[in-house]
Structures are given as structure tokens and as C-alpha cells.
Amino acid sequence: MNAVSINFLLAREHRRELMRAARRGARFDSGETPVTRVTLRYAGAADRRRLHELAQLDSAEPPTGVTLVAEVDGRLRAALPLDGAPPIADPFHRGAELIELLRVRAAQLGRA
């Protein structure tokens, strides 16, 4: 997957957020729009508890090795262990797109 595909996935998710906000009756004439910040990074020791909670939500085992994580607006939503273990994601949010972004990032880092 290339940068164009990543941009497409991010744009699609942003559109969905805007549509959800519109259905809730949010007003955009004030110049404010909902902001979704997606951060892809390596998990650190401080993430251990959050990874455990994420794994519980996904009915999975928490990752133990080097792991990439995806945060949406500061909330841990998906994780991709780089040791070949299955990815985990919050089942109440759009985890498939985040896992795909994590796979792209792992490939960019030469870790796929």
C-alpha cells in the first residue's frame, strides 16, 4: 500500500466522522469541525496496561514483543505485534482500517 492509499483511508475515515457529527446535529458554521488525530508508533513500557485492556476487548492475548500501536485522538485502538502474532483492535471502533495502516507502517519500517 502506498501513500495515496493511506491518504484515501484517512480521508474516508474523516468523511465518516463528519457524517456522524452531521447526524448528531453538529454545527459547522462556527468554523469548527471534528478532528481525528491518528498516531502510529511503537508501543512502550507505559502502554502495557492499555495493551492488556485492548486485548481483553478483542478477546485476545496481549502482545509481548515489539508492537506498533494506533491511537485515535489519544486512545489506543489497535496494535500490531511485529513478531507475527495476530493484531488486536477495539471491536467497538474501526479497527480493520487501523490495522491496515499499521501493516503499511510496518512495511515502511522494514518490519513486515
pLDDT > 90 in the chain, percent:
56
For residue 70, name the pLDDT band (cuts at 50, 70, 90).
very high
Residue 109 cell numbers, joined: 519500517
C-alpha 35/C-alpha 71 separation (Å) is 13
Distance between CA 83 and CA 14 in Å, rounded?
31
* pLDDT more than 70, % of the chain: 84
Helices assigned H by DSSP within 1-112? 3-23, 48-57, 95-108
Residues in the chain: 112
Residue type, 32: E
pLDDT at 88: 97
Supply φ then ψ for residue 68, to 5 degrees.
Answer: -95, 140
CB of 36 within 8 A of CB of 13?
yes
